[in-house]
């Protein structure tokens, strides 16, 4: 009866080596460790978190700063805007009172417009990204796992969606949707515009992710562990959620990190084209629209949203790259 | 090859047919009163009546679609408004002209904008990508990757407007972007579009640099490239004839997508620079509530994407000998 003791010894030995350095770590922990070492990734993560915090704390910032994004300061207070509606002070009316200057003609506070504008942009972008990702996951896994006719038809649907000219279609179809929901003589409510935009952005966004995940599932479907699960009588639901999905989180997370800034710019682009949020809602895209009308006289009004958007998108793209590197150190860019 | 092409073209036609059906039903079945949407923002009652009659709103939707579809091939008569000859994509009640005429009128702007920018960003992007791949980790590579990151993150309505402000109004090195037909004044055509080309190229180049770089890095390590080197071929021809050829496939894919999207209407670019192309036409059609024009632009854009896909698929085989068409 020496065998049991020897196994115990072996176990002891392994536990000793484990404590002396080689600690077992989950893929998540490994990823986190690699990510922490990536300085660019950490800095961009901080910038991204900062933007989200600004969006969340907008009312607090407004209170501390003492202005709100709706009051027409330039019109209410004399001496701020000239007869043509442009700020009298140089550089777009930047002063200790109005940090980023004033909006031409309406005279709203640019800093507040920016801070509240992040809310609109991020709100719509986050919602659209969540819907898009969910749709992409469901469609991709169903197509890849079911195979056969389902896969064929889903594949054609993806082709079709990707062939649709997204921007033109959205600007064309938004008025149609609204003509259906809102009587012709009424203003479109703010929430409805936001919902329409979110749905539109999601309706075109899912196809890329679905195609990618379908490919992954196709290659995993025939692997031994899935086969083993099937042989032992696992239900399709169990196979999808317990066997396939855990292996898909990496591409899903990477894709959605890259998707979010794309959604932010898409929303801003649509507002720039005039199908975004209405005049009353602070929105970056509409700031651009207004800025392109007045830039010859007031370039400052263009600079602030432009630089803010640029910083946000660069930080988010860098974060996406770092997340990918952390998950998959094999990929070298 | 021929069989492959026929199959792809047929497939593309089916996709186009489905897209036109989907768009048609979305635009004409969902709104409560499509005639109103087609008639324009300011809609005189008699135009509304004309629109209603000529669109055949009272007929079943299927009949409306078929007569719209038939119009593309044989033309269509619009009662008192006149005849819309063969490729009839509809009749704009706002412009009081067949939509196709307006599109033909605007098309050269968009095409000139697209082709000019595409030439710049393709050549420049691939070239910097190759250089970056050959100088991996060196300063040049780093500059290329930083600028491609910024290029990929910057928005055309921001840089485009900034460029207009500084280069057109402050320094006056470029003229105000404007489309002048090349047949009228080639120099004016070139100088009028130069700034939009450069700005568009600035944004698109980034993507090509990145893709070319990463596939070139991969390909330079391939066995066939090493074999070519071992045989004693010069560095230049190994890079250009072997590695680049293999690296071009993904570049062509993206190029096809970009070209398709741009021809279908570089909406934001055209808006930023005030060029009256297809994209502008679509935005205007939304503003004026001109449903027939809108539908035609959507279809045109979809058509551009689909056609580009077919071309790209066929090019794969020409460029990469490893691809077999079947």
- Indicate yes or no: CB of A165 within 8 angstroms of CB of B301: yes
Locate the chain B residue with the closest alpha carbon to A314. B153
pLDDT the model gives residue A11: 44
Which token pair is B93?
Answer: 């009640």
pLDDT the model gives residue B120: 94
- Indicate yes or no: CB of B271 within 8 angstroms of CB of A273: yes
pLDDT the model gives residue A10: 45
Asked if B42 is an interface residue toward chain A (Cβ–Cβ < 8 A), one would say no
Please tell me whether residue A278 adopts helix, strand or coil conformation.
Answer: coil
Is it the case that residue A270 has pLDDT exceeding 60?
A: yes
| Cβ neighbours of A56 (radius 10 Å) | 13
Average pLDDT over residues A129-156: 90
Is it the case that residue A94 has pLDDT exceeding 90?
A: no
Asked if A330 is an interface residue toward chain B (Cβ–Cβ < 8 A), one would say no
pLDDT the model gives residue A2: 41
- Indicate yes or no: CB of B214 within 8 angstroms of CB of A333: yes
Which token pair is A38?
Answer: 């990536």
Asked if B271 is an interface residue toward chain A (Cβ–Cβ < 8 A), one would say yes
Asked if B214 is an interface residue toward chain A (Cβ–Cβ < 8 A), one would say yes
Q: Convert the pLDDT of each residue in A28-40 to its tens digit.
A: 788 888 888 888 8
Is it the case that residue A260 has pLDDT exceeding 70?
A: yes
Nearest to A173 among B26, B145, B297 (CB): B26
pLDDT the model gives residue A15: 46
Mark residue A78 as left, alpha or beta (left: phi above 0; alpha: psi -120 to 50; beta: remaining). Answer: beta
Please tell me whether residue B82 adopts helix, strand or coil conformation.
Answer: strand
Please tell me whether residue A93 adopts helix, strand or coil conformation.
Answer: helix
Locate the chain B residue with the closest alpha carbon to A316. B153
Cβ-proximal residues to B274 (8 Å cutoff; 6+ apart), any chain: B177
Highest mean pLDDT among A13-17, A280-284, B28-32: A280-284
Locate the chain B residue with the closest alpha carbon to A307. B158
* pLDDT band of A330, cuts 50, 70, 90: low
CB pairs under 8 A between A and B: 129
For every one of its 326 residues, what pLDDT tens digit does chain B have, with 9 covering 90 and above? 778 788 888 888 888 888 888 888 888 877 767 777 777 777 777 777 777 777 777 778 888 888 888 888 887 777 666 777 778 888 888 877 888 888 988 999 999 999 999 999 999 999 988 888 888 878 888 888 888 888 888 888 898 888 888 888 888 888 888 888 888 888 888 888 999 999 999 888 888 988 888 888 888 888 888 888 888 887 777 887 778 887 888 888 889 888 988 887 688 899 889 899 998 888 888 888 788 888 888 888 888 888 888 888 888 777 776 666 54
Is it the case that residue A65 has pLDDT exceeding 60?
A: yes
Which token pair is B214?
Answer: 């990463």
Is it the case that residue A131 has pLDDT exceeding 70?
A: yes
Locate the chain B residue with the closest alpha carbon to A285. B157
Q: Convert the pLDDT of each residue in A180-208 to its tens digit.
A: 777 666 677 778 888 888 988 998 889 98
- Chain A: give the shortest CA distance to residue B232, in Å: 29
Nearest to A165 among B27, B149, B264 (CB): B264
Is it the case that residue A333 has pLDDT exceeding 60?
A: no
The residues spanned by each domain of chain B are: 15-100, 101-325
Nearest residue to B34 via CA among A222, A279, A176: A176
Asked if A231 is an interface residue toward chain B (Cβ–Cβ < 8 A), one would say no
Please provide the CATH number assigned to the domain covering B101-325: 1.10.3720.10
| Cβ neighbours of B218 (radius 10 Å) | 15
Nearest to A306 among B158, B283, B286 (CB): B158
- Indicate yes or no: CB of A310 within 8 angstroms of CB of B158: yes
Is it the case that residue A324 has pLDDT exceeding 60?
A: yes
Average pLDDT over residues A322-329: 78
pLDDT the model gives residue A332: 47
- Indicate yes or no: CB of A310 within 8 angstroms of CB of B153: yes
Q: Express as a percent the part of chain A with pLDDT over 70.
A: 88
Which token pair is B272?
Answer: 């930023």
ipTM of the complex: 0.81
Is it the case that residue A6 has pLDDT exceeding 60?
A: no
* pLDDT band of A50, cuts 50, 70, 90: very high
pLDDT the model gives residue A45: 92
Please tell me whether residue B295 adopts helix, strand or coil conformation.
Answer: helix
pLDDT the model gives residue A21: 57
Asked if B171 is an interface residue toward chain A (Cβ–Cβ < 8 A), one would say no
Is it the case that residue A63 has pLDDT exceeding 90?
A: no
Locate the chain B residue with the closest alpha carbon to A174. B286
Chain A residues with beta carbon closer than 8 angstroms to that of B304: 165
- Chain B: give the shortest CA distance to residue A163, in Å: 6
pLDDT the model gives residue A48: 92
What's CA B107's distance to the chain center, in Å? 11
In chain A, DSSP assigns E strands to none
How far are the Cα atoms of A142, A230, A242, A277 from residue A222, in angstroms, in the given order? Answer: 15, 10, 15, 47
Measured between alpha carbons, how far is A58 from A49 in angstroms, rounded to an integer? Answer: 14
């Amino acid at each position: 009866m020496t065998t049991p003791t020897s196994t115990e010894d072996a176990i002891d030995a392994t536990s000793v080596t484990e404590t002396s350095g080689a600690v077992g770590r989950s893929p998540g922990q490994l990823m986190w460790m690699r990510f922490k070492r990536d300085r660019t990734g950490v800095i961009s993560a901080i910038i991204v978190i900062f933007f989200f915090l600004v969006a969340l704390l907008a009312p607090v910032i407004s209170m501390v700063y003492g202005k709100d994004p709706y009051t027409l300061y330039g019109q209410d207070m004399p001496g701020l805007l000239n007869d043509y509606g442009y700020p009298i002070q140089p550089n777009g009316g930047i002063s200790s009172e109005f940090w980023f200057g004033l909006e031409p003609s309406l005279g709203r506070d640019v800093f507040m417009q920016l801070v509240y504008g992040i809310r609109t942009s991020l709100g719509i972008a986050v919602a659209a990204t969540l819907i898009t990702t969910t749709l992409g996951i469901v469609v991709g896994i169903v197509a890849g796992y079911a195979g056969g006719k389902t896969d064929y038809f889903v594949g054609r649907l993806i082709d079709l969606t990707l062939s649709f000219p997204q921007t033109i279609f959205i600007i064309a179809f938004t008025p149609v949707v609204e003509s259906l929901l809102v009587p012709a003589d009424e203003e479109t409510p703010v929430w409805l515009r936001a919902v329409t935009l979110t749905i539109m952005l999601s309706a075109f966004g899912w196809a890329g992710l679905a195609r990618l995940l379908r490919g992954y599932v196709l290659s995993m479907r025939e692997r031994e562990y899935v086969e083993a699960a099937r042989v032992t009588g696992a239900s399709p639901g169990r196979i999808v959620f317990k066997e396939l999905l855990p292996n898909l989180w990496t591409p899903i997370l990477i894709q959605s990190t890259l998707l979010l800034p794309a959604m932010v710019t898409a929303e801003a682009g649509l507002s720039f084209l005039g199908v975004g949020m209405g005049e009353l809602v602070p929105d970056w895209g509409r700031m651009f629209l207004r800025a392109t009308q007045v830039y010859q006289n007031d370039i400052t009004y263009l600079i602030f949203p432009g630089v803010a958007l640029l910083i946000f998108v660069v930080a988010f793209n860098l974060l996406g790259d770092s997340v990918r590197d952390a998950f998959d150190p094999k990929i070298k860019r | 090859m021929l069989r492959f092409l026929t199959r792809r073209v047929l497939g593309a036609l089916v996709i186009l047919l489905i897209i036109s059906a989907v768009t048609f039903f979305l635009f004409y079945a969902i709104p409560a009163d499509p005639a109103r949407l087609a008639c324009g923002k300011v809609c005189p009652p008699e135009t509304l009546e004309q629109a209603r009659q000529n669109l055949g709103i009272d007929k079943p939707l299927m009949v409306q679609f078929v007569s719209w579809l038939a119009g593309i091939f044989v033309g269509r008569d619009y009662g008192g408004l006149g005849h819309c000859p063969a490729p009839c994509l509809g009749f704009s009640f706002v412009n009081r002209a067949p939509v196709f005429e307006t599109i033909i009128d605007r098309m050269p702007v968009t095409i000139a904008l697209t082709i000019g920018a595409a030439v710049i960003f393709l050549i420049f992007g691939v070239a910097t990508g190759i250089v970056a791949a050959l100088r991996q980790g060196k300063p040049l590579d780093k500059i290329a990757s930083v600028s491609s990151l910024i290029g990929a993150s910057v928005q055309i309505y921001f840089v485009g407007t900034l460029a207009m402000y500084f280069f057109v109004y402050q320094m006056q090195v470029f003229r105000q972007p404007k489309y002048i037909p090349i047949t009228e004044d080639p120099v004016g055509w070139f100088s009028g579009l130069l700034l939009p080309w450069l700005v568009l190229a600035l944004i698109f180049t980034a993507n090509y640099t990145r893709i070319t770089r990463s596939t070139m890095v991969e390909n330079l390590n391939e066995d066939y490239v090493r074999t070519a080197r071992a045989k004693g071929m010069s560095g230049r021809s190994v890079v250009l004839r072997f590695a680049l050829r293999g690296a071009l496939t993904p570049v062509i894919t993206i190029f096809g997508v970009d070209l398709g999207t741009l021809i279908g209407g570089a909406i934001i670019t055209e808006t930023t620079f005030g060029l009256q192309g297809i994209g502008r036409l679509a935005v205007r059609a939304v503003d004026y509530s001109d449903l027939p024009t809108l539908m035609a632009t959507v279809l045109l854009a979809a058509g551009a994407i689909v056609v580009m896909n077919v071309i790209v698929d066929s090019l794969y085989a020409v460029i990469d000998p490893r691809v077999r068409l079947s």
